[in-house]
Amino acid sequence: MQDQKNQIEILAENAEMYAKTSIDLLKLQAVEKTALVGSAAVSRGVVILMISMFIIIVNIAVGLWLGDILGKLYYGFFCVAGFYGLFAFVIYFFFHNRIKERVSNSIISQLLNWFPCIK
């Protein structure tokens, strides 16, 4: 009887250690995922900032150049704005659903990779 109590106590200690180790593992996995997401966001943010600055400067230059050709500077900026308006119209009416679907699928796959227990 005493031997059986000792085995139950050992089993309970092992279960407690397993639970603590599992919790520690989940904490470490959460820290890893947070670090990965944070570092990816910062690096992508820097790249997006640089590309945005490039596009802004190129748009100003194109607006000034077209304005010089057309005789008035603001005509060039109207042309650039019209181009972006047309571009936004085409994207919205012809590619909106495809873009929405791809972004949705990307988010779902990243969440499934983040939470492997859902699979």
* Model pTM score: 0.60
Q: What is the structure's pLDDT at 55?
A: 95
**E-state strands within the chain:** none
Q: What is the structure's pLDDT at 77?
A: 94
Give pLDDT < 50 ranges for the chain.
none
Q: What is the structure's pLDDT at 71?
A: 93
Question: 71: left (phi > 0), else alpha (psi -120 to 50), else beta?
Answer: left
* CA gap 44, 1 in Å, rounded: 64
Q: What is the structure's pLDDT at 40?
A: 81
